[in-house]
Amino acid sequence: MEKSIHVEIHGNHGNVVIGSDIQQHIEHSFNTPSNPDLAPLLAQLTQAVEQMLAHLSAEQAAEVREDLERLQEELQKPQPRKKWYNLSIEGLIQAAKNVGAIGVPVIELAGKILRLIP
């Protein structure tokens, strides 16, 4: 089955139109993080991760989805816990390194997000 992903981002808000079961894994991606500057970066990271998933095994893809979901949840808290968001970002970066060039946007966006978190 071919997966279709279309993401539109306007300002700090995004609309997602998805033609597969991926939607349930990114439904939290546009919830507002505690730091409003993170919202567009988190949306971009979600899109980059979704593009990367096709290049991972089913097991790896499930782990990456979980890391992304945990990162999204943690960043919505008034005081994100460093231990938990670092663990999630490390998982995303490791997976991105394993897929080569397709993972570069994930690595870059994860770095930008880390610089914005207190």
Distance between CA 118 and CA 96 in Å, rounded? Answer: 24
Domain that holds residue 95: 5-116
* Total domains, the chain: 1
The pair phi, psi for residue 50, each rounded to 5°, is -60, -40
List pLDDT tens digits, range 94-104: 999 999 999 99
List pLDDT tens digits, range 12-22: 444 444 444 45
Residue type, 87: L
The pair phi, psi for residue 74, each rounded to 5°, is -65, -40
CA 65: distance to chain centroid?
Answer: 8
What is the pTM for the complete model shown? 0.72
